Structure 1
Amino acid sequence: MRILIVDDERPARDKLRRLLAQQPGITELEEARDGVEALERAAAFRPDAIFLDIQMPEVSGLEVAASLPDPAPLIVFATAYDEYAIKAFDANAVDYLLKPYDEARLQRALQRLHARFADRKPAPQTGLPVRQLLVSERGATRIVRAEDIQWLETADNYVVLHTPQGSPLLRQTLAALLDSLGPAFIRTHRRAAVQRSWVERVEADSKGDGQVLLRGGASAPLSRQYRPALMAALSG
């Protein structure tokens, strides 16, 4: 299993990494320091399971769990607060580790995790795997519903999420984000993609380049390289 450790406290991450590194069947370990970084690392690292703290600044562990693509990684919540147990299991958690836990308690969690992992079958991708994205903005967290995203545009190490409510920046690659969002989004340019349901009209010149006009007046660039796939998707 590939495991992502998410906790805003460095000692907690170090302890869990040390214990997990000694366990058989775990091939890779990665860390995230908060909820926003957890979503970024989950998209890039694609873990099989996440050990997830609940109380973190800006984005809680429960919010992270709700924002993971489907099929989501298996989740073991690890927290110092027992009042979140019901909500954790409502989020389909495999286990709930109450801090401070010892190695024996971690072993029981790993047994449950391995059993669930062995029984798991790959789930087919649905039209819109990710329901929402969490964007960090000046100390606050903005929730962007996937259905509200008209088109996507790369900007250095970020992707601009163009919506009727604004255009926040998400630190992620366009390719990784498109994998998470699924087939509802279609690439139109090496630096852009549109959501099919927002497309109103396609305008192209004799060479195939042009623009995709969207409901509400927005537009996205179109290159001839991506035009055939776009037209095939729109006609399907």
Structure 2
Amino acid sequence: MRALIVDDEEPARARLRRLLEGAGVTVAAEAADAGDARRQLAAHAPDVLFLDICMPGMSGMALAASLPQPAPLVVFTTAHDSYALPAFDTGAADYLLKPFDAARLARAIERVRLRLVAAPPAPRLALPVAPHPAPHLAQLLVPERGGTTVLPVRDIGWIETADNYLILHTAKGQPLLRKTMGALLAELGPGFVRCHRRAAVQTARIERVLARAHGDCELLLDSGMRVPCSRQYRAAVMAALG
């Protein structure tokens, strides 16, 4: 297992490195912010990212939400317990609350090992090979009472979770699709970005980003729809907008 440590505090990185190496994990690199983390990810292709949440600039939560696929597994390491729900909503392998000890870290490492066994990473090649991107859906087949609706992806302004369903917000209606947000976003590709733990938006439809209290914002779409955007995902949305 190869790990990348991302934390803006050097003592925290040094302590985590000692604990990981003591548990038999290879620390491929360290990073102090999201920009450095992206460079290290490209250079070392780690299996797991031990990621702090509160960092200058882009937060760890926003970085995790914006990782290109296939992405490494993520274990959040933070002193704040208030981010646990949105963290696991991103598919995190574990959530370590600082200060954690070697025993708690060992349990997190075991969870990562099990995930890697269930879905092993692609083999690393000696020479770089141009990737073949998976085709992304141009339309969705939405089962409805009495038939199936063919819904062009370009018509979807934003997507909202509702229990075991997704609400597909369009100008003509809000059909329901029984699928997880993560699975659908993987099929739709980079044209959609997570903007809230319960919402994702089509970036091409965003006209304005409206500031709100406490670092949150609201996304005004070309259809007039308004989509909530929490501060944890704001940086990822802005990055997707270029």
Q: Report the AA paired with residue 14 of structure 1.
A: A
- Sequence identity percentage: 50
Task: Look up the match of 2:60.
Answer: 61
Q: Report the AA paired with residue 47 of structure 2.
A: D
The equivalences for 1:115-194 within 5 A come to 115-122=114-121, 125-127=133-135, 131=190, 143-145=238-240
Shift of 1:122: 4.8
1:122-154 Cα distance to aligned partner (Å, 9 max, x none)? 588525888399xxxxxxx79343xx7xxxxxx
The equivalences for 1:1-236 within 5 A come to 1-24=1-24, 26-122=25-121, 125-127=133-135, 131=190, 143-145=238-240
CA contact (8 A) 2:17 2:27 kept: no
Judging changes above 3 Å, is the alpha-carbon distance between structure 1 residues 144 and 79 closer, same or farther for their aligned structure 2 residues? Answer: closer
1:29-84 Cα distance to aligned partner (Å, 9 max, x none)? 31000112111211221111000000001010011111211111000000000000
Describe the SS at the equivalent of 2:68: coil
Show structure 1 runs of 4+ deviating over 3 A: 121-125, 127-133, 141-144
Describe the SS at the equivalent of 1:126: coil
Q: Report the AA paired with residue 12 of structure 1.
A: A
Find the aligned partners of 1:28 and 1:103 in 2 and give their Cα distance.
16
User: How well do the aligned residues superpose, as a CA RMSD in angstroms?
Assistant: 2.6
CA contact (8 A) 1:80 1:100 kept: yes
CA contact (8 A) 1:76 1:95 kept: yes
Equivalent pairs, count: 139
Higher alpha-carbon Rg: 1
Find the aligned partners of 2:26 and 2:15 in 1 and give their Cα distance.
18
Task: Look up the match of 1:168.
Answer: none
- Where does structure 2 lack aligned partners over 5 or more consecutive residues? 123-131, 137-185, 194-234
Find the aligned partners of 1:3 and 1:63 in 2 and give their Cα distance.
19
Q: Report the AA paired with residue 110 of structure 2.
A: Q
- Where does structure 1 lack aligned partners over 5 or more consecutive residues? 134-140, 149-162, 164-236
Describe the SS at the equivalent of 1:83: coil
